[in-house]
Amino acid sequence: MSLFMERALKEAKLAAKRGEVPVGAVLVKNGKIIFADGNRTLELKDPTAHAEILVIRQAAQILENERLTDCDLYVTLEPCPMCAAAISFARIKRLYFGASDVKSGGVENGVNFYNNKTCHHAPEVYSGLSDVEAGKLLSDFFKQKRSE
């Protein structure tokens, strides 16, 4: 397992402890973690506070550039269409994600954003990293929520 995906999974677990959907993201440049976070939609009362968006926003501030070229993003779940668009707009070089999201994904499922002719930048996409562990985190979380 990649060190960066391990960190994304850690962020997802922390999100779950906060009662958030357990998704974690890590932005990396030149082999160094720039920023990592998990979902915070409930905490911030912000429907756009997905892990990917939070990490992109903070990394742009840290790197003082809205273009995150030569950066890689590791996410535990396939990004939704909103996050896929943000990844494109930030010009992120490579996207690595864990579990596929057949219902709400925007990369390999759903709108398949990067194959759309209106997409100006498509990152290299690598899916299935730690997908079993990432998927189990999500299924356990929702199983617990249904039993509450």
- Residue 105 in tokens: 């994904």
Q: Which one is catalytic: 11, 20, 43, 52?
A: 52
Annotation says 20 is catalytic = no
Q: Which residues pair with 94 in a beta bridge?
A: 72, 124
pLDDT tens digits along 24-81: 999 999 999 999 999 999 999 999 999 999 999 999 999 999 999 999 999 999 999 9
Comparing C-alpha atoms, which of 101, 103, 122 is closest to residue 23? 101
CA distances to 6, 26, 37, 82, 105 from 102, in Å = 23, 22, 23, 15, 6
Q: Which residues pair with 25 in a beta bridge?
A: 37, 75
Q: Is the pTM above the cut of 0.85?
A: yes
